[in-house]
Amino acid sequence: MLEDLQRPLDEVQGCKVLERVAEHPDTTEKDIELARQYLDDPNWGAYSLANAFRRKGINVHKDSITRHREKRCPCW
């Protein structure tokens, strides 16, 4: 009976980290690409990366970074 359930398209969300980066008024496409690279870089801890983003005026929680890295993010 429930085999064909699908989420409506308007409920599908994107990556919270990249959304926060894109919301910043000074963000460019290059910044979004750099944010993707930082997310993929294991040398950046989630807490350190969240703090680095915060210093640039982008509020991202470390748990959002961790979810993305663990592929539990809506963008996966």
pLDDT for 76 equals 76
Burial class (CB in 10 A: 0-12, 13-18, 19+), 30: exposed
Which is higher by pLDDT, 2 or 69? 69
How does pLDDT run across 10-67, given as a tens digit for each residue? 554 789 999 999 999 999 999 999 999 999 999 999 999 999 999 999 999 999 999 9
Q: Give pLDDT, residue 4.
A: 82
* Residue 70: partners with Cβ closer than 8 Å, 6 or more residues away: none
Give me the pLDDT at residue 5, please.
Answer: 75
Question: pLDDT at position 1, please?
Answer: 73
- What gap in Å lies between CA 24 and CA 5, rounded to an integer? 35
Half-sphere exposure of 28 (CA within 13 A, CB side): 2
